[in-house]
Structure 1
Amino acid sequence: MTRRAVVVDVVRSPFTKGKDTGALVGVHPVDLLAGVLAALQERTGIDPGRIDDVIAGCVLPVGEQSGNVARHAVLAAGWPEEVPATTIDRKCGSAQQALQFAAQAVVAGEQDAVIAAGVDMMSTVPMKANRLGRDELGPRLRGRYADGMVRQGISAELIAARWSIGREECDAWSVRSHRRAAAAEEAGDLTAQIQPVIRPDGTVVDRDEGIRAESSMETLARLKPAFRDEAMAERYPEIGWVVTAGSSSQVSDGAAAALVVAEDVAERWGLRPRAAVVRGAVVGVDPVLMLHGVIPATERVLTRTGLAIDDIDVAEVNEAFAPVVLAWLKETGADPERVNVHGGAIAFGHPVGASGGRLLATLLDALEGRHGRYGLLTMCESGGMANATVLERLS
């Protein structure tokens, strides 16, 4: 009999600004992740000695996040030394990939209980810090793509051009993200998923820092294109330069963790699962256009489940940039009112290794609030990849 993997609960830290003025500056990444692990243990009541593995995403595993941050966090949380842990990197989809790896191990019968987690403190370890000023691609890869690789912002512009997405559409989606996130915060819809963090100075951080309820089309219209580059403009004359800082995800600090167990084990241990992991998928796409992988990833996971897009009651599509979600909507025909219903990374921020956990938490809360059955989580990733996961609400 095939076992089902179920998500018992998911906990995250507040997501705060990933710069030296951010609310979590001064908190060590190991302690941040250890805090959500401990909170998850307390909420679920699981004996940490029963956990077979901890898988944590981290996209920037250098400096304070080096040396297997997942293992360090397990020990910092006070869990038994016998609990192993590993750190993985599938770029922005790392925490979601941790969820899929955890589910696969449980379904295969290899393990009974696995933590799927993620952390990145981009104030402490900024983007590109792990490259140490070196060429991370190498001559053979550069030779394959003779026209050259591009930054993600340029990929977002290429997506906007290919799917005929204009500046006004991007700005409108950004305003929507902030306003929906602000409404969810005001209504208390985010409270349960957030574990407050105590800074070294005793200050308690219990709210996301990037949400701007006052966001407006007028304010965003004053922003200049964030990625305009004359060399890129010459190479790609079709680009309209519609992406700004306002329609891009925010650089952030944060951590998240979910408990994944076998359904029969949950029953035996007295755990009440919130959702079942139905199926997952991961795809590779053109690494220049890069961020459109959410489209074929969604198609693949729906095919594997036998579901149609209209069967999905709530979808979380990571808002790396507004054109990513807008292109996904055009291709899938999904109802926008079922997508990112509590806002997205444009408002909450995007601590890259942990974002999959935040999307999972928001998805489960929205599914339960709407009494929906199926939820979809999909995430674009640098290098031309994307994950998609379908979950079924159980509680």
Structure 2
Amino acid sequence: MRDAVIVAARRTPIGKRNGALAGVHPVDLSAIVLADLAATAGIDSAVIDDVIWGCVTQGGEQTGDIARTAALAAGYAESVTGVTVDRQCGSSQQALHFAAAGIVAGQYDVVVAGGVESMSRNPMFSAAQGKDYLGPRYTARYPEPPSQGLGAETMAERWGFSRADVDTFALESHAKAERAVSDGRFLGQIVPVQTEQGIVTADQGIRPGGTLESLGALNPVFREDGVIHAGNSSQISDGSAALLMMSGQKAEEFGLTPLVRVHTAVLAGDDPVVMLTAPIPATRKALAKSGLTIDDIGAFEVNEAFAPVPLAWLAELGADASRLNPNGGAIALGHPLGASGARLATTLVHHMVDNGIRYGLQTMCEGGGQANATIFELL
């Protein structure tokens, strides 16, 4: 029986909005990771069957099937195809799912899954600016327009999270990320990016030393009496990440040692207006499908779109909080939309390898009230 394994996982540093990576075209940002991925594995790019690339704002510099453009910009053989995927924030996690399914089905032997987002150069929602992208039939069913920020406020209210709860979680995200950098945990996964200003080697969004008092000075953004503000939300960011995937048989043929295999991959949908709750049913579905329990999972990556998302996930799933986002999350590291699923996978896979963790799970909320959930098994 064929399986889908990951043999290499790499990412750029994550740049802040209008920060160190803002001057890099998203095609080039993608190409840097793609070129490094093939070089890391020591393979000829001509053996790659496809590049499946997540990208959310598919307009401006990120249009025209950026997957194919980036593959060519990376110097890949002209025989290597590319397809661009949009499942909102989960786009590159969905790319991973498509890649795994194609390998198991025998349609692919070797494939790259990943994604990119330059939110500095292609602002969120800019592709839909001035356009009714929902349509009259959708709005007839859901008169209240979807809003991630209001959804986060609804979650905080529904699960009873106070301002101190969400701010404390945000501070812990930065503290964990700072420890990860200090311990050198990201060194094996980050590809340096050369810019006109110099080489970027580290994530820009980490802010150590914050306090509840300093976060308390920030005003709520979405409700005057709410709890959500810039300090407990994911950061607008630039970045790219990619995974080299293949069948176990092909890895053996190439003499490559797989890091993990894709054990289980599922989807779930939930309320599209609140939008952010689907990681909870997605995780339950993944556990049921895999035959594993929550306690069998040694590490979790639950995307920190807003602090109430992982907090509600913890409250509902009863997971060990010490296993959640052990190296920090999007509140500290940033959330380059189309790249985030692959970034989470890259961080999780390296953490599993470095610590001998057999099973890891990642999940993230996505536009439309959706979520992917993926379980990896250490090999």
Q: Name the TM-score class by shorter chain.
A: over 0.9
**Is 1:189 matched with 2:174?**
no
Q: How much has 1:162 moved relative to structure 2?
A: 1.0
**Is 1:97 matched with 2:94?**
yes
Matched AA of 1:158: T
Q: Residues 101-180 of structure 1 correspond to what in structure 2 (within 5 A)? A: 101-146=98-143, 148-180=144-176
Large movers: runs of 4+ above 3 Å: none
Tell me, in whole angstroms, the C-alpha distance in 2 between the residues paired with 1:214 and 1:202.
27
Tell me, in whole angstroms, the C-alpha distance in 1 between the residues paired with 2:43 and 2:221.
46
Q: Which runs of 5+ in 2 are unaligned?
A: none
Tell me, in whole angstroms, the C-alpha distance in 2 between the residues paired with 1:215 and 1:193.
26
Tell me, in whole angstroms, the C-alpha distance in 2 between the residues paired with 1:309 and 1:244.
31
Secondary structure of 1:261 counterpart: strand
Matched AA of 2:186: L
**TM-score, reference length from structure 1:** 0.95
**Is 1:280 matched with 2:261?**
no
Give 2:211's aligned residue: 216
**Any conservation in 2 of the 1:149–1:287 contact (CA below 8 Å)?**
no
Secondary structure of 2:349 counterpart: helix
**TM-score, reference length from structure 2:** 0.98
Give 1:261's aligned residue: 246
Matched AA of 1:16: G
**Is 1:289 matched with 2:278?**
no
Tell me, in whole angstroms, the C-alpha distance in 2 between the residues paired with 1:9 and 1:379.
22
Give 2:348's aligned residue: 363
When the two chains are superposed, the root-mean-square deviation of aligned CA atoms in Å is 0.9
Give 1:335's aligned residue: 320
Secondary structure of 2:319 counterpart: coil
**Any conservation in 1 of the 2:146–2:275 contact (CA below 8 Å)?**
no
Tell me, in whole angstroms, the C-alpha distance in 1 between the residues paired with 2:355 and 2:10.
20
Q: How much has 1:213 moved relative to structure 2?
A: 1.2
Q: How much has 1:60 moved relative to structure 2?
A: 0.5
Moved more, 215-224 or 318-327: 215-224
Secondary structure of 1:353 counterpart: helix
Secondary structure of 2:138 counterpart: helix
**Is 1:50 matched with 2:35?**
no
Give 1:234's aligned residue: none
Secondary structure of 2:277 counterpart: helix
Matched AA of 1:11: R
Secondary structure of 1:354 counterpart: helix
The count of residues paired between Structure 1 and Structure 2 equals: 379
Q: How much has 1:350 moved relative to structure 2?
A: 0.2
Tell me, in whole angstroms, the C-alpha distance in 2 between the residues paired with 1:373 and 1:215.
34
Give 1:82's aligned residue: 79
Secondary structure of 1:78 counterpart: coil
Query: In the alignment, which of 66, 88, 104 is matched to residue 63 of structure 2?
Result: 66
Q: How much has 1:202 moved relative to structure 2?
A: 5.3
Tell me, in whole angstroms, the C-alpha distance in 1 between the residues paired with 2:280 and 2:108.
31
Secondary structure of 2:258 counterpart: coil
Secondary structure of 1:74 counterpart: helix
Q: How much has 1:112 moved relative to structure 2?
A: 0.4
Matched AA of 1:289: V
Matched AA of 1:294: P
Secondary structure of 2:265 counterpart: strand
Secondary structure of 1:173 counterpart: helix
Give 1:228's aligned residue: 223
Tell me, in whole angstroms, the C-alpha distance in 1 between the residues paired with 2:50 and 2:5.
15
Q: Residues 31-46 of structure 1 correspond to what in structure 2 (within 5 A)? A: 31-46=28-43
Tell me, in whole angstroms, the C-alpha distance in 1 between the residues paired with 2:341 and 2:103.
19
Give 1:12's aligned residue: 11
Tell me, in whole angstroms, the C-alpha distance in 2 between the residues paired with 1:101 and 1:73.
19
Q: How much has 1:330 moved relative to structure 2?
A: 0.3
Matched AA of 2:14: F
Tell me, in whole angstroms, the C-alpha distance in 2 between the residues paired with 1:67 and 1:110.
24
Q: Deviations over 1:17-42 (max 9, x none)?
A: 123xx101211110110000000011
Q: How much has 1:331 moved relative to structure 2?
A: 0.3
Tell me, in whole angstroms, the C-alpha distance in 2 between the residues paired with 1:44 and 1:315.
26
Matched AA of 1:104: A
Tell me, in whole angstroms, the C-alpha distance in 2 between the residues paired with 1:351 and 1:202.
21
Q: Deviations over 1:269-306 (max 9, x none)?
A: 11111000001011111101210100000000110000
Q: Which runs of 5+ in 1 are unaligned?
A: 230-239
**Any conservation in 1 of the 2:147–2:275 contact (CA below 8 Å)?**
no
**Any conservation in 1 of the 2:90–2:371 contact (CA below 8 Å)?**
yes
Secondary structure of 1:257 counterpart: strand
Tell me, in whole angstroms, the C-alpha distance in 2 between the residues paired with 1:52 and 1:363.
25
